[in-house]
Amino acid sequence: MGREMAPQELSYFYQKTGEAIWHLQHVEEELIMLYVIGSIHLNINGISGKNADLKTKQYGKKTLGQLIGLLDGTPIVTSEFIEKLRSYNEIRKWIVHNSMRETGNCLYSQIDRDFFISRTVEFTDLSVEIQDDIVDRLWELTHAAGIATEEVMARANATVEQWKNAT
62 pLDDT band, cuts 50/70/90, is very high
Higher pLDDT, 19 or 143: 19
Predicted confidence at residue 84, as pLDDT, reads 97
Contact residues for 84 (Cβ-Cβ < 8 A; gap 6+): 126, 130, 133
Predicted confidence at residue 67, as pLDDT, reads 97
Contact residues for 62 (Cβ-Cβ < 8 A; gap 6+): 32, 70
Sign of CA dihedral 166, 124, 34, 94: negative
Sign of CA dihedral 66, 125, 5, 1: positive
Confidence (pTM): 0.83
Distance of alpha carbon 165 from alpha carbon 92, whole angstroms: 35
Compute the mean pLDDT over every residue in the chain, rounded to the nearest whole number: 88
Summarised one tens digit per residue, pLDDT across range 81-94 is 999 999 999 999 98
CA-atom Rg of the chain in angstroms = 19
Predicted confidence at residue 31, as pLDDT, reads 97
Predicted confidence at residue 83, as pLDDT, reads 97
